[in-house]
Chain A
Amino acid sequence: MNWKRATIALLATTPILALFAFGLTRDPREIPSPLPGRDAPAFAMAVMPPAADAPATSDTVRLAEQRGKIVVMNFYASWCLACRDEHPVLQALAPEYRDKGVEFYGVMYKDSPDALRRWIAEMGGQPYPTLVDPGARTAIDYGLYGVPETFFIGRDGRVARKHVGPVTRDVIRATLDSLLAAGGGTPEAGGGA
């Protein structure tokens, strides 16, 4: 009864092979974030002075004071290669969206202000402030596992979207346009790429 054996073998192996095939379509490094849709973790971070010898400012940015504004937080570092790819996009879009009430912040991730200032100069400037995150505490609060990662926070203080890897023009435009169009709240929880 060979056909019987063949059928049993097929029935036994097909689901396993199907499971493996499904596994191959998934990226094991992609970690789903629970943050989109939830309140953005509070933070208070000092603004990195624009020059080493600049007078020390006591500027601190607190998320609580940003209520009612849309906030884009871009975690980056001078040693991060992918950050070089996305920097021109942020450079171009930050001033445009600032006029519409969107605040952009860079957050220094495991870097030194000196190295970062050199990097910014080399990249042709940065039209928004960089915040200093000692001990990566804010990064950990945001469930960061690498740079670059970009968080979009709605006017209601909720995380609207988390983007892993270099952020693109399309992602920024799509996310910010829908947040601006939604007015008060977060239009769609979820997203993330």
Chain B
Amino acid sequence: MRNVIAIGLALLAAIGPIDAQAPSASRPTPAADSLLDARTREVASGLRCPVCQGESIEQSPAELAVELKGVVREQLAAGRTPEQVREYFVARYGEWILLEPRPTGFNATLYLVPPLLLLGGAVVIVVLLRRWTRAGAAQPAGASLDDELLD
């Protein structure tokens, strides 16, 4: 058993350096490659897969999604910025392709309404708590609080 491990380690040690020296002039270095991969993943995870339900092209194994991801990678490799790549897809598939809607125009309501509702709810709770504590102090038992509130 030990021998097998030793041979395995020796093989790994032998292969390792060769592999590390492999990159030729025509191929990008592994570091540049993995950087491109990471950027591709980042852009692809923000783009909706056209043939799926609520999945990004990064998550989807669908053929079209894989090809769209290929286009993302190609364009990034060609020096386009992530924003330019997103713009390319928006021009073809519409804003629909963005998993996260842009906070402009009508979309802004998406981002504004929840905090406003939260704020409104907080105000309502504060007002109600004040009333309740005052009502509680005035008449310790008996009367229905709900009716009091609705009046």
A residues lining the B interface (CB < 8 Å): 1, 4-5, 8, 31-35, 38, 41, 110, 135-137, 140-146
* Given A1-B150, A34-B90, A34-B91: A140 in contact with B71 (beta carbons within 8 A): yes
Query: Interface 1/0s, chain B 38-50, versus A by CB < 8 A?
Result: 0000000000001
- Cβ of B35 within 8 Å of any chain A Cβ, yes or no, is no
Closest to B95 in A: A34
Closest to A29 in B: B53
Query: Interface 1/0s, chain B 71-105, versus A by CB < 8 A?
Result: 10000000000000000001111101000000000
Closest to A145 in B: B50
Q: Decide: A140 and B68 in contact? CB cutoff 8 A.
A: yes
Q: Decide: B94 and A32 in contact? CB cutoff 8 A.
A: yes
* Interface Cβ pair total, 8 Å cutoff: 45
Q: Decide: A5 and B68 in contact? CB cutoff 8 A.
A: no
Number of B interface residues in the complex (CB < 8 A)? 17
Interchain CA distance A143-B64 in the complex, whole Å: 11
Residues of chain B lying within 8 A (CB to CB) of residue A135: 67, 70
Closest to A28 in B: B53
Interchain CA distance A148-B52 in the complex, whole Å: 17
Q: Decide: B90 and A145 in contact? CB cutoff 8 A.
A: no
Chain A nearest CB, measured from B101 CB (Å): 14
Given A1-B150, A140-B67, output 14 extra A-B contacts at Cβ < 8 Å.
A5-B150, A8-B150, A31-B50, A31-B96, A32-B94, A33-B94, A34-B92, A34-B93, A34-B94, A41-B92, A137-B71, A140-B92, A142-B92, A143-B94
